[in-house]
Amino acid sequence: MASPSTTSPPPDVLEKLVSLCKRRGFIFQSSEIYGGTGSVWDYGPLGVELKKNIKDRWWNALVRARDDIEGLDAAILMHPRVWEASGHVAGFTDPLVDCRNCKKRFRADDPKIKGTPGTPDGQCPACGMKGTLSQPRLFNLMFKTFMGPVEDSAAVVYLRPETAQGIYVNFLNVQQSTRQRVPFGIAQIGKAFRNEITPGNFIFRTREFEQMEMQFFVDPAPPDQQKTPYRTDMEWFEYWKEQRMQWHRDLGLSESRLMFHQHTPEELAHYARAAFDIQFDFGGTLGFQEIEGVHHRGDFDLGRHQEFSGKKLEYFDQPANRRYVPLVIETSVGADRTTLAVLVNGYREEQVEGEQEGRTVLGLHPGLAPIKVGVFPLVKKDGMPEFAEKLAADLRAKFPVFYDESGAIGRRYRRQDEVGTPFCVTVDGETIKDSTVTVRDRDTLKQERIAADRVGEWVARRI
């Protein structure tokens, strides 16, 4: 695993990615024609496919491929008491300072602030004035709104700042309806909202984002003879740490850009028994940053919901005739932040031998690429477009395909390289004679001649 001190930082490609993503329809600024909304982004035709492929891989790995994790899709709006129980009403805050001169706001711990806010030497990082920064005050990051027609304090609800609480409050519903036995997990993918004071870095930190969270419930005092491969809570914690790191490797993220960060005693939540972040090196000044948290949350969440709701959230182990509140191992990853990691990891500019013009490539894992195959007729005549269109239609039944007959063939390849399409198929004069086509690999640039009716199987094997 990487050590940030021994590897030179990869280049900062964020600015180039923002422009590529807009130009090619991955990601657009929200409400752009009105000047944009602060740190909210819309996924275009290719971006929605990429993010969906990432979410599908997560869902398949955690829910579909296992018999000990169940899926859930809980609502965004929840009973306001949920957020009192979870600690978010009292504690989900960041310290905020305002500049009286330029009216800008900052997190009090922003490294760009010089001096001490609230004193004459505190200097505003935006307008440069001294003594204009307010004392830090706590700012709750939850978005508030009202349920029903009356806008008073009794009707306040929150947009959820994390998806996990929907899992805790449904713990017994899921367990009893599926008859799962501890240890087991509940997983869900959904939107979360945080009124971040300093969002930014494209889709790295936004105010509306998607999380993929899984809560795994384990026995606090498992009997010695328990037969599951892992027994104690700490064994399960280690298991999930490794599983989740492997999932990121399997997305194609480079080993040298991934590492664990163990929470220091200051970072560790008071109830947490252990916590590691999986970090990815975004390059440039951003460097290594959290993309996923793997946390041992003890019995804090179920315990608090028991206390605040007055309803028991105990698991009944029938064979052993024991009742207990399980411990929770949580894995929590951002779908948008992972999408950014995949884009950053894949972006490269390179020279091609024998060609003047360089190329930009998104070296996406073929399974994640929004388009799997580009299909081109070499020229727009002699039956080539008809053959190619028919081939594209046949392939489209299996994967997303892009048919392109405009411009020089080299340019068509470049356009697909830039959006990460792993394979391109070209129909030429020979195709018309013997029904063979050339298939080109995005990364090696190697071309092979194969029978047109074998293309589907050839591509399927590689994705």
Alpha-carbon gap, residue 245 to 106, rounded angstroms:
33
For ligand ATP, the closer CB: 186 or 455 = 186
DSSP alpha helix (H) spans, 1-121: 14-23, 45-59, 80-85, 88-91
Q: Return the residue nearest ligand ATP (CB atom).
A: 334
Q: How far is the CB of 242 from ligand ATP (least distance, A)?
A: 17
- For the bound state, the minimum distance from the C-beta of residue 46 to ligand ATP, rounded and expressed in Å, comes to 20
The residue ranges that bind ligand ATP (CB under 6 A) are: 162, 194, 196, 205-206, 209, 211, 290-293, 332-334, 336-337
337 or 442, CB closer to ligand ATP? 337
Report, in angstroms and rounded to the nearest whole number, the Rg of the chain calculated over CA atoms.
26
Nearer residue to ligand ATP within complex by CB, 37 or 360: 37
From the CB of 62, what's the least distance to ligand ATP, in Å? 15
Least distance between ligand ATP and beta carbon 123 (Å)? 25
Kindly state the smallest distance separating residue 442's Cβ from ligand ATP, in Å: 28
Q: Shortest approach of ligand ATP to residue 82 CB, angstroms?
A: 16
Residue type, position 186, single letter: I
Least distance from C-beta 297 to ligand ATP, angstroms? 11
Nearest Cα neighbor of 384 from 399, 405, 400 is 405
Question: Which residue, 330 or 404, is less far from ligand ATP as judged by CB?
Answer: 330
Complex with ligand ATP: residue 209 or 423, whichever CB lies closer: 209
Q: Which is nearer to ligand ATP, 182 or 335 (CB)?
A: 335
Distance of alpha carbon 61 from the chain centroid: 15
Nearest to 325 by CA among 355, 344, 301: 301
Cβ–Cβ < 8 Å for 233, 220: yes
What is the closest distance, in whole angstroms, from the C-beta atom of residue 17 to ligand ATP in the complex?
Answer: 16
- The conformation of residue 364, written as its DSSP 8-state character, comes to -
* Chain center to CA of 135: 35
Are 351 and 407 within 8 A, CB to CB? Answer: no
- Among 423, 427, 447, 445, residue whose Cα is nearest residue 436: 427
Cα separation of the two ends of the chain: 26
**Smaller CB separation from ligand ATP, 269 or 463:** 269
In 10 A of CB 167, how many CB atoms?
A: 24
Q: Residue 292 or 428: which CB sits closer to ligand ATP?
A: 292
Distance, in Å, from the CA atom of 48 to the CA atom of 368, rounded to the nearest integer, reads 11
